[in-house]
């Protein structure tokens, strides 16, 4: 176990008390003062992109990194610590032991097995379930009041697995889901209209994968519903054009992986946006993987899939009642069936 330290000199002499002289008439810090702690499990490309973004955005007072590879772990920790002069002050620790995550407010799980050439999706999922059986229970025991954010893929099914293994209430287990898909969606729409993606409201919901659903009916630009605007202005558009944009969203990750070998920066920013919404109780809306039973006609089983959800300090505060067309609602229910088919084969 290693961490940042102010100890200098022989035998780890702590010179802080000698270096600073206290001012007169001081009082100790108030007992309510506490640090915000985030733990990131898995220091691969995704985990470190998330850790780096969390640091640069000053989202935590303490960051704990956990991985099974001690050398990689220590190397990543030192690399981040060496940037201390350019970052907000954050205590960074690294350990192969889950006890280092004790007292976390948010635990982000990025660890997962990689798919072997020719391996079925179900076999890959079973290997990840075996990994989660080793990871999730000790994390839940170390931080029983934390919010658990799952980023590992396939994220929807693994969020369900994490919920079952943790014993947490469903509001405190969230999957990164289609938060990143929706960002890609907003970027492509903004690119077509030559404007800032932050002025576009648009959601991809359902599975983080091939059966995801683009909510075209709810897209707005600067508060103006885009499809109804086109109809009022009698501007013709083809459904094939819309479907092409959705296809680009679905294939976006595959394209990045083909070109550079993995995805990292976009999911780093995506996870950091969710961390900010949760830890700062922003009550902002994000399309994330949640327990979808009872929403939009999804009644069978306990599927986890992405819906526009309000996030705050206790995790998921509620699901937004977004209007769906009949076609969109049917596609969402089909997406739920796709996920349920996998969940039912896990035996959890």
DSSP string, 151-184: -SSSHHHHHHHHHHHH---GGGEEE-TTHHHHHH
Q: What is the largest CA-CA distance in the chain?
A: 79
Cα separation, 97 vs 64, in Å, equals: 11
Phi and psi, residue 153, nearest 5° = -105, 150
- Could you tell me whether strands 204-205 and 91-95 are parallel, antiparallel, or unpaired per DSSP bridges? unpaired
43 is in an annotated binding site: yes
* Alpha-carbon distances of 128 from 124, 162, 340, rounded to whole Å: 6, 11, 17
128 is in an annotated binding site: yes
151 is in an annotated binding site: yes
67 is in an annotated binding site: yes
Cα separation, 262 vs 109, in Å, equals: 17
147 is in an annotated binding site: no
299 in Cβ contact with 77 (< 8 Å):
no
* Active site members: 208
222 is in an annotated binding site: no
Number of other CB atoms surrounding residue 283 within 10 Å: 12
Residue that the structure tokens 């850790």 belong to: 51
Cα separation, 65 vs 69, in Å, equals: 11
- Exposed/middle/buried for residue 76 (C-beta within 10 Å: 0-12, 13-18, 19+): buried
44 is in an annotated binding site: yes
Nearest to 202 by CA among 213, 334, 108, 313: 213
Q: By three-state DSSP, how is residue 19 classified? A: helix
**Which residue numbers belong to the known binding site for NAD(+)?**
42-47, 67, 128, 151-153
């Amino acid at each position: 176990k290693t961490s940042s330290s102010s100890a200098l000199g022989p035998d780890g002499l702590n010179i802080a008390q000698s270096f600073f002289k206290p001012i007169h008439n001081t009082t100790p810090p108030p007992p309510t003062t506490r640090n915000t702690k985030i733990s990131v499990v898995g220091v691969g490309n995704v985990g470190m992109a998330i850790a780096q973004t969390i640091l640069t955005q000053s989202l935590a007072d303490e960051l704990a990194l956990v991985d099974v590879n001690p050398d990689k772990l220590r190397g990543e920790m030192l690399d981040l610590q060496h940037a201390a002069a350019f970052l907000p002050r954050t205590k960074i620790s690294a350990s192969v032991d889950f006890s280092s995550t004790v007292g976390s407010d948010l635990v982000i799980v990025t660890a997962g097995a990689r798919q072997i050439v020719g391996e079925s999706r179900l076999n890959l999922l079973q290997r990840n379930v075996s990994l989660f059986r080793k990871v999730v229970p000790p994390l839940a025991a170390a931080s029983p009041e934390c919010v658990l954010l799952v980023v590992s893929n396939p994220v929807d099914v693994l969020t369900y697995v994490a919920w079952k293994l943790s014993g947490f209430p469903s509001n405190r287990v969230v999957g990164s889901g289609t938060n990143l898909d929706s960002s890609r969606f907003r970027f492509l729409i903004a690119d077509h209209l030559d404007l800032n993606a932050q002025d576009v409201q648009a959601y991809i919901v359902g599975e983080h994968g091939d059966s995801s659903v683009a909510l075209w009916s709810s897209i707005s630009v600067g508060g103006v519903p885009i499809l109804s605007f086109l109809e009022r202005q009698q501007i013709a558009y083809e459904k094939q054009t819309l479907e092409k944009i959705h296809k680009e969203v679905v294939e976006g990750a595959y394209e990045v992986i083909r070109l550079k070998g993995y995805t990292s920066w976009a999911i780093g920013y995506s996870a950091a946006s969710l961390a900010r919404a949760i830890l700062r109780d922003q009550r902002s809306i994000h399309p994330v993987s949640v327990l979808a039973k009872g929403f939009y006609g999804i009644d069978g089983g306990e599927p986890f899939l992405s819906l526009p959800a309000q996030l705050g300090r206790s995790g998921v505060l509620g699901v937004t009642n977004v209007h769906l067309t009949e076609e969109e609602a049917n596609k969402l229910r089909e997406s739920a069936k796709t996920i349920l088919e996998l969940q039912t084969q896990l035996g959890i």
